[in-house]
Amino acid sequence: MSISFLTFSQKRDLDSLPDNIDDYVFVKPGDTLTISLNEFALLPKHKFKSRDDIRYYLWFTRKVQKAYPFAKLASERLDTLNARLERIDSKAKRRRYTKLIQKYIEGEFTDQMKKMTTTEGRVLIKLIHRQTGKTAFDNIKGLRSGWKAFWYNTTANLFKLSLKTEYHPESVNEDYLIEDILQRSFQDGKLKTQKSKLNYDFPLIILKKKGDINVEEYKKMFAKMRKKGKIRKKSN
């Protein structure tokens, strides 16, 4: 599974932002906060600073929804591996089984992950931590030697992606956005729910945020790309 993290494309991250924002509401400062109640969670209506911010949020939503199924599948495969290893007494048989599963996981993930953008790759690494309870680095270390894991981490950093990246929706804005997107996607039936193996109280986190959506980091990223001439600003 480890080699899959090394070839994320930056160019494909420059796709045009979505135009369809009619289903979203621009909430101005001072507007009343509304809460939608269902059987899972209290999710406040989003509050965006501008209609343009809605487009960035929708763009990021596509990234999260693309990356999540891979993290979910990785968690399922690793759970199966660990459960099976607990029933194998022989060290030699454990090594052979681990190697077999490792090749299977790599074959299942590699080709599709190579097509991911840098943003999707970054989200995936965070979601690996969310779904497995371990960072991508630690998961790889469990299957390979620590020495090889070190080099995989070093190589990933050349793409500005660290396999040691953790998931903290309570303190990291991007992680909060990821969790917000996941919870709404679960409720809408767009993604299949898989409980996180990390301990955090998202209902409490989202109430503190009060629906505020901060996409400034993505706006800055696109502005930097435009400045370098890598993308053109879309005409109205």
> Has residue 32 been placed in a domain?
no
Per-residue tokens: 92: 């030699």
> Has residue 167 been placed in a domain?
yes
Element housing 43 (H / E): strand 42-44
Residue with tokens 């969790």, as numbered in its chain = 179
182: left (phi over 0), alpha (psi -120 to 50) or beta: alpha
> Has residue 215 been placed in a domain?
yes
> Has residue 180 been placed in a domain?
yes
SS3 assignment, position 140: helix
Exposed/middle/buried for residue 205 (C-beta within 10 Å: 0-12, 13-18, 19+): middle
How many domains would you assign to the chain? 1
Per-residue tokens: 162: 């660290």
> Has residue 212 been placed in a domain?
yes
Q: What is the DSSP letter of 13?
A: G
> Has residue 207 been placed in a domain?
yes
> Has residue 227 been placed in a domain?
no
Q: Look at residue 111 in the predicted model and tell me its pLDDT.
A: 75
Element housing 70 (H / E): helix 51-85
> Has residue 70 been placed in a domain?
yes
Q: At what angle do helices 202-209 and 173-188 cross, to 10 degrees?
A: 110
Distance CA 178, CA 63 (A): 9
pTM of the complete model: 0.81
Domain with 86, as residue range(s), is 51-221
Q: pLDDT below 50 — which residues of the chain?
A: 1-6, 37-39, 235-236
Q: Look at residue 166 in the predicted model and tell me its pLDDT.
A: 97
Q: Look at residue 4 in the predicted model and tell me its pLDDT.
A: 38
* Phi/psi of residue 36, nearest 5 degrees: -100, 130
Residue with tokens 């992950």, as numbered in its chain = 113
